[in-house]
Amino acid sequence: MSLLVVENLDVRHGLLQAVRQASFEVAEGETVALVGANGAGKTTLLRAIAGSHKPAGGRITFEGADITATPAHRRVRSGLALVPEGRRLFPELTVEENLMVAGQVGRPGPWNVDTVLEAFPILKPLRKKRAATLSGGEQQANAIGRALMTNPRLLLLDEVSLGLAPVAVEGVYRSLHTLIGGGSTIVLVEQDLSRALKVATRIICMLEGRLVLEGPADRLTRREITEAYFGLGRMRLREVEA
């Protein structure tokens, strides 16, 4: 049985339909990269799975239970955790305090302050520093660590590398490799195709709110992904029909 099942999901922003009939599954231990251009609907889809955005239609099943109408805080307690775009840390709290706040609402499990700091060694010397004083990469590490403190079955990561310097991206992805190697289940929104292909077991590409390509990362070619990313295959089809 799949850990997460999304069926015919529609999500709207007012009159704008941001996600259209999205259906896919995530098995335990997978790393699924959700790719696509700006405005493709990736963040909206992730927020709908996490419970931060109410779907207009369709169904979301987690561990065999229908959670489509379940509030976000109850999804966290059931094992879903979202690292949102922009990190959203508590700026006046320290690194350690940001971790401990999340630990109070999560499930029992292996993740605690010490194990998070082991997975993200960049945070060890910063544990008493306020989040507002951290660099972008340090904040991203703190945000992922905060999500891990809830001991999730499924970790949703939105735009991990967005706005970060290359050296910061390298550090964050080193820690992600540690999580993946440990068997974590991850759905990752990423615009950097090279990064996505290196960590993902499966790629899902979105275009204009629809899932237009899905397959194992080691079987899809970069050309196939790029064409789906920019809708080039659809453009060629229109040219033939014309």
Q: What is the pLDDT of residues 189-236, one digit of tens each?
A: 988 888 888 899 999 999 999 999 999 999 999 899 989 988 875 544
Other Cβ atoms closer than 10 A to 95: 30
Domain annotation covers residue 119: no
pLDDT digits (tens, 9 = 90+) for 127-173: 999 999 999 889 999 999 999 999 999 999 998 887 788 888 888 88
Q: CATH number of the domain that 76 lies in?
A: 3.40.50.300
Domain annotation covers residue 32: yes
pTM > 0.85: yes or no: yes
Domain annotation covers residue 171: yes
Residue 234 confidence (pLDDT): 52
* Owning domain of residue 40: 4-92+152-241
Give how many domains the chain has, as a whole number. Answer: 1
Domain annotation covers residue 110: no
Domain annotation covers residue 106: no
Question: For residue 19, how far is the Cα from the chain centroid?
Answer: 16
CA distances from 38 to 87, 146, 173, 184 (A): 18, 26, 21, 27
Write down the H helix ranges in the chain. 42-50, 72-78, 95-103, 113-119, 136-148, 166-181, 193-199, 222-230, 232-241
Domain annotation covers residue 114: no
Other Cβ atoms closer than 10 A to 76: 21
Structure tokens at 41: 């609907």
> CA angle, 49 as apex, 45 and 52 as ends, to 5°?
90
Domain annotation covers residue 97: no
Domain annotation covers residue 14: yes
